[in-house]
Every structure is written in C-alpha cells, then in structure tokens.
C-alpha cells in the first residue's frame, strides 16, 4: 500500500470492490510524493530495532518473495488476467 492510492480486491469471477485500509496500516502523515510514507515506515522500523537492540526478521528470502509479488502484479496488469501466487515457491 502506497499513500494516495486505493486498494481494490475481488475473488476470481467477482467484481472489484474497494477495500478499506486497516487503521494499523494507515499512514499518520501524508506527503506530496506518496512513496515517502511507506519508505519512512520501513526506515523507522529499522531505527527502532537498532535502538532497542532487537532483531529484524527481514532477509533475502523476504526480498525475493516481495520482488516476485511485484513481478506478478505487473504481469497481471499487462495481461489483464488473474495470476496465481505460489506461496511455497519462494518461502
């Protein structure tokens, strides 16, 4: 979710419906560039982990999975079709 966009969802064969962003994921502050809020959230998470001495669980595995989801999103958009997400392929 990037600030300034709306989230839509549907099951195959059903019409798209706008999905409300859960409050826990909503951004407290908005910026002209909608990419800033999610970037700040990630950096803030890292800084808090460093300050608290806690361990973040993100790894290359999560990065590869995130990239796969972005690639599938582009594929779905370009082909205007649903694509299957093989959750076990990369995790």
51 with 57: CB under 8 angstroms? no
From first to last of its 91 residues, the chain has per-residue pLDDT tens of 566 678 889 988 999 999 988 888 888 888 888 888 888 988 898 899 889 988 777 778 878 888 888 899 999 999 999 898 887 665 5
DSSP string, 30-52: --SSTTHHHHHHHHHHHHHHHHH
Using alpha carbons, list the distances in angstroms from residue 39 to 12, 29, 31, 34.
Answer: 31, 12, 11, 9
| Alpha-carbon span 4 to 33, nearest angstrom | 9
Which stretch of DSSP H or E encloses residue 58? none
pTM of the model: 0.49
């Amino acid at each position: 979710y990037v600030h300034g966009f709306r989230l839509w969802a549907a099951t195959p064969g059903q019409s798209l419906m706008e999905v409300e962003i859960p409050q826990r994921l909503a951004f407290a502050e908005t910026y002209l560039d909608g990419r800033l809020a999610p970037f700040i959230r990630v950096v803030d998470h890292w800084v808090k982990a460093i300050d608290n001495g806690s361990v973040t669980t993100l790894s290359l595995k999560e990065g590869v999975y995130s990239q796969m989801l972005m690639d599938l999103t582009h594929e779905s958009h370009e082909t205007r079709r649903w694509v299957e997400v093989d959750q076990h392929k990369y995790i």
